[in-house]
Structure 1
Amino acid sequence: MADHSLFMQAALREASKGRGYTSPNPAVGAVLVANGKIVATGYHERAGAPHAEVECLKSHSGSVPADATLYVTLEPCSTIGRTPACTEAIIRSGVRNVVVGATDPNPPHRGRGIRLLRAAGLTVHTGILTEECTALNEAFNYWVQTKRPFVIAKCGMTLDGRLTRAPREKQWITSVAARRHANLLRAQVDAILIGAGTLRLDNPRLTIRSARGAPQPWRVVLSRSGRVPENAHLFSDKFAHRTLLFRDHGLADVLKSLGEREVTSVLIEGGGNVLGQALDQKLIHRVHIYFAPLMSGGPVVAFSGKGASNTSDGVRLCDPQYEQIGRDIFLSAKTLYRHGSSEQHGETYRLESGSMDTQQELNK
């Protein structure tokens, strides 16, 4: 009996090669297995390029082994967009067995590709490493259902939650290793957002330096007054065309505007006022926090804003993942907000729950 999980893990590794390059499409990977061995692999490299299934099958055009099984991390698309429908390519290839990790998160399309394959006589298995395959595209899943970007709050702070530095001091709170790691995370988002205060204080570049060939994310600046230094790097370097300045716009409106530009994910890098606003408005879906082994005290906190009125209304974190990077500790976790008398994850997971009936039906 085939080890479906083992081969789906291989497909996930293929899919991860496309992270940060495929937006506004999801990252997808596929492997073709015959006689218990992987004989072909493929992944979606960028929007407009062939999808993972087509890349995987192209080396076996017209010669797919009779016992071959195609493993794909996301339900094959069934409509024609920038590329032809993958369901048609799979049917024409001669593959008779398909294993799908996650179903299409787009409600009008969810389950359609699987039904078309089954109607054509193919055997389709679902529910293999579904959580892992879904998590791979958590930003895309949210955007495709809401047309608003998935929001990640990122900051480096002291153990007492401070960003305090002496005036004009350029000393970093976190280590070189942590900053390199953070730069790699930048390469996985569509936009990086900061406030005008951070722009004036740090004059950041917000570029991608650690991921070769990754597209430069949009650089978004919020300013109540609209007064920003025109000679700042963001407005004068070679990526100036990738900088957006929003004057006197609410954060929720900015995110809506970015979603309309097909921005599927936003990394908020500060400062504390912008992060606090996002927290108060329950706009954050995930946090990336680097804790430095340092206590500084002082008035500059990582998340300011109004704050929770009581402990039970505070934002809780779930599914935390910890990693030591250099001398610092990195935390990545999903947010858990209180809604009335119940607690719920960010909207992503509330929306995903609507697909359970579809998933159970497809698993039959």
Structure 2
Amino acid sequence: MASAIEIDAVRRALQLARRGPRGLNPQVGAVILSPDGGVLAEGFHRGAGTPHAEVDALSQLAPGAARGTTAVVTLEPCNHTGRTGPCAQALIDAGVARVVYALDDPTDAAAGGAERLRGAGVDVESGVDAVAALELISDWMALQRTGRPHVTVKWAQSLDGRAAAADGTSQWITGPAARRDVHVRRAHADAIVVGTGTVRADDPALTARADNGSLLETQPTPVIIGESETAPDAAVRRHPRAPLFYATHDLPAVLADLAEQGVQRVFVEGGPTLASAFVRAGLADELLVYVAPVLLGGSRLAVGDVGVSTIDEARRLAVASLENLGDDLLIVARPVSTRETEGPHASPEPSRAHDGTAAAEPARATARENEGDA
């Protein structure tokens, strides 16, 4: 059983893990404790190709100084050789006597570190604060299972389901509290996705901002989908993160490419056409619908064709939460059949031009350029 000191060390390791980037590898933290429980070293994983958390912590100690110590880690020490060697073996070679970790490694390639440690005579304790560790890397784990990022599709609408008035104006359907909530959620995403139509019509900055207009600490990478060119002076080109341009309508291919770049969570905010395309393709894991108590009428619906021609084909959703935001209502809903039960979405490489120009190779037309405001 883990001691109180070791439990505290796991919590500290979780804090350290959050310093590392979200990406191709999970966020992992490590603490090395002396036999009497003092902290000798701390480490965390700084990104693909860099030392893993355990090795990062061990590197701060003099040769032989780790002998007889306890290594506390948020994730089971890996048991494979990739860009770096197996952490389980590094701990064994360093003479670590005990390993305490929170969560078993979920991947076939890296799992087995605990067994390797025990085989070498190291005392191993697992499952300490596993719930917190799972929460930390849940998006990364979902990416491993499905092969694509988690997708949240957001839109704002009037009570009668319109995204804009008859003349196309839409700022602002919702109030300040709802808009504030959107910016917070943008900051929690790795990428924010819109269509070229939205960029052309609204020239959005796609940044996550505070009430005073200042940028929040974390920013999503802007992703522009569509074959139309983006103007050289578009606001999105001044984003703190370099935007990615996908001259394609093949949404699974875009998501596959984003996954290869370590994007774990995508926030789709591109307007009715793009939102409908993600829903129609079965790629929306979560819907955020901001409903304002106003009536607009007209034909500018918040959602277009989602592939439903008869009531039996209706896309059933489970409402996860309802929240009042000022005068507005936020509905969070998820498909009854989630992507975790459907498996990964295999897809070819997208036709992409990162400079914003159209790519030469045509892609399958599964989404059309967006029209109107998000």
Pick the TM interval, shorter chain: 0.7 to 0.9
Q: Cα offset for 1:173?
A: 4.1
The residue correspondences of 1:170-185 to structure 2 (distance < 5 A) are 171-174=171-174, 179=179, 182-185=182-185
Q: Give me the TM-score of the superposition, normalised by structure 1.
A: 0.72
* Aligned residue runs from structure 1 range 43-192, under 5 A: 43-61=44-62, 62-64=64-66, 66=68, 68-109=69-110, 111-157=111-157, 162-165=162-165, 167=167, 169=169, 171-174=171-174, 179=179, 182-192=182-192
Deviations 1:293-319 (A, max 9, x none): 64344354444433665489534347x
Deviations 1:224-244 (CA, angstroms, capped at 9, x unpaired): xx3355346267547796331
Considering fraction of residues, name the structure with more helix: 1
Mean Cα displacement is larger for which, 121-130 or 30-39? 30-39
- Quote how far apart the aligned CAs of 1:72 are: 2.0
Q: Distance in 2 between matches of 1:217 and 1:165?
A: 30
* TM-score, L = length of structure 2: 0.70
Q: What is the deviation of 1:116? A: 2.0
Work out the CA distance in 2 between the residues paired with 1:162 and 1:83.
52
1:53–1:179 Cα change, 3 Å: farther
SS in 2 for 1:270: coil
Report the secondary structure of 1:259's partner residue: helix
Higher relative contact order (CA 8 A, sep 6+): 2
Is the 2:222–2:241 contact (alpha carbons within 8 Å) kept by the matching residues of 1? no
Structure of larger gyration radius = 2
The DSSP-based 3-state class of the residue aligned with 2:269 is strand
Distance 1:26-1:237 versus aligned 2 partners, 3 A rule: same
Asked if the contact 2:163/2:170 (under 8 Å) is kept, the reply is no
Q: Distance in 1 between matches of 2:261 and 2:179?
A: 28
Alignment of structure 1 residues 216-227 onto 2, 5 Å: 217-222=221-226, 226-227=227-228
Please report the RMSD computed on the Cα atoms of aligned residues, expressed in angstroms.
3.9
How many residues are treated as equivalent by the alignment? 333
**Cα 1:257–1:39 shift into 2, 3 Å:** closer
Q: What is the CA–CA distance in structure 2 between the aligned matches of 1:38 and 1:176, rounded to whole Å?
A: 46
CA deviations 1:258-286 (Å, max 9, x no partner) are: 33455444221121222222223221223
Structure 1 residue runs without a partner (length 5+): 338-344, 352-364
Q: Does structure 2 conserve the Cα–Cα contact (< 8 Å) formed by 1:14 and 1:29?
A: yes
**Structure (1 or 2) with the greater strand fraction:** 1
Structure 1 108/229 Cα, relative in aligned 2: closer, same or farther at 3 Å? closer
Q: 1:236 to 1:43 in 2, by over 3 A?
A: closer
Name the CA distance, whole Å, in 1 between partners of 2:136 and 2:186.
16
2:153 is paired with a residue whose SS is strand
Structure-2 residue corresponding to 1:199:
199
**Structure 2 counterparts to residues 249-328 of structure 1, below 5 A:** 249-287=249-287, 289=288, 291=290, 294-298=293-297, 299-306=299-306, 309-310=310-311, 314-317=315-318, 320=320
TM-fit CA distance, 1:31: 3.3
Distance 1:17 1:326 in 2: 34
Cα gap change, 1:102 to 1:153, in 2 (>3 Å):
farther
Query: SS state of the match for residue 121, structure 2?
Result: coil
User: How far apart, in 2, do the equivalents of 1:8 and 1:303 lie?
Assistant: 45
Q: Deviations over 1:195-251 (max 9, x none)?
A: 233223321122456444x576252323xxx3355346267547796331323x232
Find the aligned partners of 1:331 and 1:14 in 2 and give their Cα distance. Answer: 34
> Does structure 1 conserve the Cα–Cα contact (< 8 Å) formed by 2:143 and 2:150?
yes
Instruction: State percent identity of aligned pairs.
Output: 31
Look up the SS of the partner of 1:137 in the other structure. Answer: helix
Letter in 1 for 2:339: G
Q: Which runs of 5+ in 2 are unaligned?
A: 210-214, 345-374
